[in-house]
Amino acid sequence: MPPIPATDQLELSVDSGVAVVTLNRPQRLNAITDDMMRAFAGLWGGLDADPEVRVIVITGAGRGFCGGADVGGLAEADEKPGEYQRLLSPRSCGVYKPVVAAVNGVCAGAGLHFVCDADLVLAADSATFLDPHVNVGQVSALEPISLSRVVPLGAVLRMVLLGSHERMTASRAQEVGLVSEVVPLERLMPRTRELASAIASASPAAVQGSLRAIWSGLDRGLSDALDEGWRILIDHRSHPDSREGPAAFLERRPPAWTVGPALSSDPSETPKEAE
């Protein structure tokens, strides 16, 4: 299991290919400190390099998912924030292993990074979402820009402008497409693990190649996105999983997937065969 950079404010467990990262400041609704920000970039890189990790789950300890950046630290923050403050989520670090967010409570401000960059978002029926940046004198920029690629712009603008005066409910988040499934709190982690296990059963290389094509396509025009998607698709044809999948289907047996990154992420690397 990859080590977490020195901090007791994050917890990590890995079981059956699923890594669960837990924000661990329950007394402060898991508000993000500078130590946590620095730790995340190293953590995501470690999980990406670990061939046994196929899916990443992120959740919070206690009654909150993430209360945003610790406001106490903002008053003492440097005028120019460090680049590590942009590297909170796996996607912002260039990690294309599938990410599932399990939102167990309030998700505010910087916590929205984890949600809008996740591939699948589940929420407890008691979870709420808000962006209070402007209420504490801060510009809201990165979170709403990412959110606007996922949900209608009107919903994003309302969240930014009303700030701490209004919270989006879990059911409303599902209506606008921010959340894919809402469950009772006691069912949140069991259901999350169920879906994560299903994702982990697929070809890791095919999953990562698919996510890379989809997410990178959002940064391109349609024609360029289709060209890049075609390149990734063709590159994957030379990957062992591309042959193993059809063979296993025809032979009516479980597939033996290759452990290692998608070829499209680094064509110079040769995947390591699973034992």
Write the pLDDT tens digit of every residue in 135-189.
888 899 889 999 998 999 999 999 999 999 999 999 999 999 999 999 999 999 9
CATH number of the structural domain 10-200: 3.90.226.10
The whole-number pLDDT of residue 73 equals 59
CATH match of 204-265 with 1.10.12.10: yes
| % the chain with pLDDT above 90 | 62
Which of the residue ranges 67-76, 84-93, 114-123, 198-207 would you say has the lowest mean pLDDT? 67-76
pTM: predicted TM-score of the whole model, two decimal places: 0.84
The whole-number pLDDT of residue 265 equals 47
Residue 74 pLDDT class (50, 70, 90 cuts): low
Residue 268 pLDDT class (50, 70, 90 cuts): very low
Positions of CATH 1.10.12.10 in the chain = 204-265
Positions of CATH 3.90.226.10 in the chain = 10-200
The whole-number pLDDT of residue 91 equals 87
pLDDT of residue 76 exceeding 60, the answer is: no
Residue 246 pLDDT class (50, 70, 90 cuts): confident
The whole-number pLDDT of residue 123 equals 98
The whole-number pLDDT of residue 219 equals 82
- Of residues 260 and 10, the one with the higher pLDDT is 10
The C-alpha atoms of residue 251 and residue 25 are separated, in whole angstroms, by 49
The whole-number pLDDT of residue 203 equals 95
Residue 4 pLDDT class (50, 70, 90 cuts): low
Q: Per-residue pLDDT averaged across 208-214, rounded?
A: 94
- Of residues 217 and 101, the one with the higher pLDDT is 101
The whole-number pLDDT of residue 60 equals 98
